[in-house]
Amino acid sequence: MIPSITGQKSDVSDKLRGFLGKERVQKQKDITPYLTLHNQASAQYFFQAESKNDLINAVKASRALGLSLLIMGGGSNLVVFRKDLTGLVVRNQFINKQVLVEDKTHVELSVSSGYPVTRLVLETVVCGWEGFEYHLGLPGTVGGALYMNSKWTKPVSYFGDQLLRAEIINLQGKIRQVDRSYFRFAYDYSFLQKTKELVLEAIFCLKKIDPFVLKKRSEEAAQYRKQTQPMGVATCGCFFKNISEIDRLRLGLATTSAGYLIDKAGLKGKVVGDFMVSPKHANFIINRGQGKSKDLLLLLQEIKSRVKEKYQVDLQEEVIIV
């Protein structure tokens, strides 16, 4: 039962523990290991959600106690500049998957928002369920991938493509079902980036095809990743969005790739402190150890100004900056 918070003398952390469980709320938790860029950060309050109810209770608790709320999935697109995050940080470990409807040609699959994407890819490929195969190797969770509308570009495949509907919760704690159109998916965009609603669960419709075809597609995508991206390093993937088609045409370039522009601006391998522009893929920034926020800021400034100077383009961050 959720306790009343009025008239209580206990401090915020006691109240939070009342909402979320005595042993389950940690104070001043180091969250660096949960961020794939390994930038140093700690959370004032930290909670690991393992069920839908945990997520709902976390939203309700943060609202009742006036705490800001940050949900993180795999932390693979998050750059935290503030060393000490105030409020509640929720790491989404709600992992569940269920077939809702199945016929000869399609399957309707409900997947929890904390489900790891690569696990989902492997499991659906084996079953011959089409739609996620190009995302093999995409770090993070279903919730993060929907929030970002994560993509693969060879060929173009967005994570939100197969979504039918989703169960979401707003910051006031209201839960509802919305269909795909609500997300207004676009390149690196979903409407949730404006509303700040959280995905609880998502329902996808996947077509049944030959598993062998899907396996081949997923392996080709993974192979391309290996050839073009640095592996086994601390990074959050592509840091900047690709440029618009209008800018590409204006510049007479063959590609919209932000990495191409950064490379041609002579920045591959550029180092500030422990942060470095990957020599393999110029849109990947790598933390080589104990990277400090001030160094990352300097490196970003240098990248933006050199690209602006050469191409008159303002690069926009793809990553979510906190």
Ligand X SMILES: Cc1cc2nc3c(=O)[nH]c(=O)nc-3n(C[C@H](O)[C@H](O)[C@H](O)COP(=O)(O)OP(=O)(O)OC[C@H]3O[C@@H](n4cnc5c(N)ncnc54)[C@H](O)[C@@H]3O)c2cc1C
Least Cβ distance, residue 142 to ligand X (angstroms): 7
Are the C-beta atoms of 177 and 165 separated by less than 8 Å? yes
Q: Which residue of the set 130, 133, 236, 238 is catalytic? A: 238
Q: Which residue has the tokens 């190009």?
A: 134
Outline where DSSP puts E strands in 16-75. Answer: 25-30, 42-49, 69-72
Is residue 32 a contact point for ligand X (CB under 6 A)? no
Q: Which stretch binds ligand X (CB under 6 A): 70-78, 178-186, 244-252, 254-262?
A: 70-78
**Total of residues contacting ligand X (CB under 6 A):** 31
**Separation between Cα atoms, residue 254 and residue 235, nearest integer Å:** 27
Of the candidates 322, 202, 314, 299, which has an alpha carbon nearest to the alpha carbon of residue 258? 314
Least Cβ distance, residue 225 to ligand X (angstroms): 7
Q: Which stretch binds ligand X (CB under 6 A): 5-13, 73-81, 101-109, 260-268?
A: 73-81
- HEC string for 124-153: HHHHCEECCHHHCCCCCEHHHHHHHCCEEE
Candidate list 18, 20, 36, 52; residue touching ligand X; CB under 6 A: 36
**Separation between Cα atoms, residue 157 and residue 154, nearest integer Å:** 8
Candidate list 77, 157, 257, 278; residue touching ligand X; CB under 6 A: 77
Is residue 160 a contact point for ligand X (CB under 6 A)? no
Candidate list 58, 236, 261, 313; residue touching ligand X; CB under 6 A: 236
Phi-psi region of 61 (alpha: psi -120 to 50; beta: other; left: phi over 0): alpha
Cβ closer to ligand X: 199 or 261? 199
**Residue 77, CB-side half-sphere exposure with 13 Å CA sphere:** 24
Is residue 69 a contact point for ligand X (CB under 6 A)? no
Are the C-beta atoms of 65 and 106 separated by less than 8 Å? no
**Separation between Cα atoms, residue 298 and residue 40, nearest integer Å:** 16
Is residue 283 a contact point for ligand X (CB under 6 A)? no
Is 238 one of the annotated active-site residues of the chain?
yes
Cα 176 to Cα 8, 49, 118, 207: the distances in Å are 31, 19, 27, 26
Is residue 49 a contact point for ligand X (CB under 6 A)? no
Is residue 192 a contact point for ligand X (CB under 6 A)? yes
Candidate list 18, 75, 131, 259; residue touching ligand X; CB under 6 A: 75
Cβ closer to ligand X: 15 or 115? 115
Are the C-beta atoms of 112 and 97 separated by less than 8 Å? yes
Is 127 one of the annotated active-site residues of the chain?
no
Least Cβ distance, residue 3 to ligand X (angstroms): 25
Spell out, one character per residue from 95 to 134, where the chain touches ligand X: x when CB under 6 A holds, - when not.
Answer: ------------------x---------------------
What three-state secondary structure class fits 241? coil
Positions marked catalytic: 238, 318
Residues that bind ligand X (CB under 6 A): 36, 70-78, 92, 113, 138-141, 143-145, 147-148, 150-152, 192, 198-199, 235-237, 320
